[in-house]
Amino acid sequence: MSRSVELIVQGYVKLNDRDALEDILAHRQDLLRQLVVVTGVDPQQAIAQVNGEITIIEAGLATLVPE
């Protein structure tokens, strides 16, 4: 999944689409909040994956020209 996120982020960076990147980031952050409170299963692998994706998205946002 992270490779997919990398490609999506690269596309939005090329388009200079800050709104789309911020939307993806907000979605991943919401997903992370939900995973942290999961009970009955061990969500650590999913949490690690989402954290990695957040890092990729934030890196993409950092390359955009500030508004």
Give the Cα separation of 10 and 34 in Å (integer): 26
Count of the separate structural domains present in the chain: 1
Q: Where are the alpha helices (DSSP H) in 17-43?
A: 18-36
The confidence score (pLDDT) of residue 2 equals: 81
pLDDT class for 65, splitting at 50, 70, 90? Answer: confident
Long-range contacts of 17-26 (CB under 8 A, 24+ apart): 18/61, 18/64, 18/67, 21/57, 21/60, 21/61, 21/64, 22/61, 24/57, 25/54, 25/57, 25/58, 25/61
Q: Which domain holds residue 42?
A: 1-63
Q: CA 45 to CA 33: how far, in whole Å?
A: 14
pLDDT in tens, 10-64: 999 999 999 999 999 999 999 999 999 999 999 999 999 999 999 999 999 999 9
Taking the model in full, what pTM does it have? Answer: 0.89
